[in-house]
Chains A and B, each alone.
Chain A
Amino acid sequence: MKHFAAASIVALCAAPALAQDTTVIGVSIPAATHGWAGGMNFHAQEAVDRLEEVYPELDFVLATAGDPSEQVSDIEDMVATRGISALVVLPFESEPLTGPVANVANQGVWVTVVDRGLSQEGIEDLYVAGDNTGFGQVSGEYMAENLDEGAQIVALRGIPTTIDNERVAGFEQAIEGSGIEVLEMEHGNWNRDDSFTVMQDFLSKYPQIDAVWASDDDMAVGVLAAIEAAGREDIQFVLGGAGMKEMIQRTMEGDEMIPANVTYPPAMIATAIELTAVGMVSSAPVSGQFTIGSVLVTEENAEDYYYPDSPF
């Protein structure tokens, strides 16, 4: 966060002098409230730093918001006081952001939407999408392939949102007909402490659990701690997701409890910022949709997804 503060101060000071010949790109993202968002903040900052160096004619304003209404204010401020030519936005929630972002688009500002789509189609010029249904599907397929018929699993869900619903729907679709029985799903809120508690209670409730779909690496940390503390040997593996570096490392080293991971790269914000910048400085067309698929990471390819410098 300290980098952001510094960056915005620099940006604010530099703005008036260069106002004539610079193009300002606004980047509005949710604050680092959990591991994945922390990684996303890191990659956004890194992309901004890199691009400001490569393209002196570009200037960036980066704002992080703690809730949807704060994000709306951030965007309004960017348009009113910084005269942005392009906006890269990762909406906190789709519904509340749709109207304000549509207003910005109507003023002729280029709009790039990242990860979560807006609830109305056709507002954005570029949509860099994460594939939540795909994330669930890849996870489900892994479970179906690696568990026997009749295997019993429990699942932890994220914060109740559209993202979480899409993931779970994809997962359920993929395990349909595989004979895997989902004993129960409960919200762990993408939080280590919550998922530790939920997993402890699952362990008390079910004497036999074959595998856990933690659906997120932060939750996997809590789940693993609960299993270890209970000393249970029946659980064959825990499937997390999103590619936290510590988890990828364990997969890379062949840890049997964490044989795989499913990516949902926080660096997709960098893809969006880079593409937007290219669109601003060159004549290369960048409008349309760019979907970042969720990939299965196993011991074989884990090295390609290991980013030791990222906070996530």
Chain B
Amino acid sequence: MSTAETTSAPTQAPRKINIQVLGPIIALVVLVIVGALMNSNFLSYANVTNVLARSAFIGIIAVGMTFVITAGGLDLSVGSMAAFIAGLMILVMNYLLPSMGNGVPIILVGMLAALVAGLAAGFLNGFLITNMRIEAFIVTLGTMGIYRSLVTWLADGGTLSLDFGLRQTYRPVYYEGILGISWPIIIFALVAIAGEIVMRKTAFGRYCAAIGSNDQVARYSSVDVGRVRILTYILLGVLVGVATIMYVPRLGSASSSTGVLWELEAIAAVIIGGTMLKGGFGRVWGTVVGVLILSLIGNILNLTDFVSPYLNGAIQGVIIILAVILQRGRKAEG
């Protein structure tokens, strides 16, 4: 298990682990307290459900992004990819409606289409990065533009809308759930738990960290670097598909403005959560905390008249940087 030790190298001393681990959680707790003090509805069931459900899209994607970044990669295309998959899914379901009729089977076909499209898109990114040996930044910058244009083209510059009847059938996937917990929250939780287990308990998770730490050493340790890398992008692609499955029933539409900047929000969440941007160390539960921090900032700013809405972006920026400082503060000493 030499790889596992490599991963924890930046956090050797136990005292340092504490502040690193606690940073994002402290930020989250502070935000929750601030929110609760500012508006009494903040902790209401409806608001908590809203925030968690809207975090699910970025959250599911960010879990996949954690693996990609841990393995030393990056994916800028996920926002465009989500828009493209949403558009494709809507087109497929609308196209099949006359032959299949409205019902659960056609929704399942749509979901399958989203997963397959995500898998293919992730494979394409991974293939170009590992087999063609092009930098991840460039490949995914390229595919980002491609998917964004494709969805605009599919929609003819407008908006793709799911058939009204289908929307009614599909709607519960976003708005309903079990025991008062809506589906997006359940799926997000399951993805996060599975991601955490894969990252910490499986060979795949340790390989990701080893490759991100030093891919040459990983290669000498007989890790199939190319295969693991490509798998991280495929995993991310499939998770983008899953996020899209949860996104489409919300408004039943996709356009060129769908998923704009999701990639940066996902990357920001991953980094706030304690994963290192240069790779080598990843923390899935930290990513989940990062996603919640980002959603809460927007929510609190909407619920209060604290600052001019023009400054929302600035507040978000400050809190992102603060969260990372809190997390890395002690590291500079060591």
Contact = CB atoms under 8 A, between A and B. Distances in A.
Interface stretch (B44-52, B224-232, B284-292): B44-52
Interface in B17-41: 39, 41
A222 interface: yes
A12 interface: no
B135 interface: no
Contacts of B177: none
Interface string B280-301: 0000000000000000001100
B102 interface: no
A22 B43 CA distance: 68
A84 B298 CA distance: 47
Interface in B296-331: 298-299, 302-303, 305, 309-310
A204 B157 contact: no
A204 B253 contact: no
A1 B153 contact: yes
A303 interface: no
B134 to A, nearest CB: 24
Interface of A: 1-2, 31-35, 37-39, 41-42, 157, 160, 184-187, 191-193, 196-198, 200-205, 218, 221-222, 225, 229-230, 246, 310-312
A200 B50 contact: yes
Interface residues of B, number: 33
**A-B pairs, 4 with minimum CB distance:** A311-B158, A32-B157, A201-B302, A38-B157
B156 A311 contact: yes
A35 B255 contact: yes
Contacts of A201: 47, 50, 299, 302-303
B309 A187 contact: yes
Contacts of B158: 32, 35, 38-39, 42, 310-312
A1 B302 contact: no
Contacts of A2: 153
A184 B175 CA distance: 26
Contacts of A197: 54, 298, 302
B303 A311 contact: no
A202 B309 CA distance: 14
Given A42-B158, A204-B50, A311-B156, A196 B44 contact: no
Given A1-B157, A38-B159, A193-B257, 19 more contacts: A1-B153, A31-B157, A33-B257, A35-B158, A35-B255, A38-B255, A38-B256, A41-B157, A157-B309, A192-B255, A193-B258, A197-B298, A201-B302, A204-B46, A204-B50, A221-B253, A222-B251, A225-B250, A230-B46
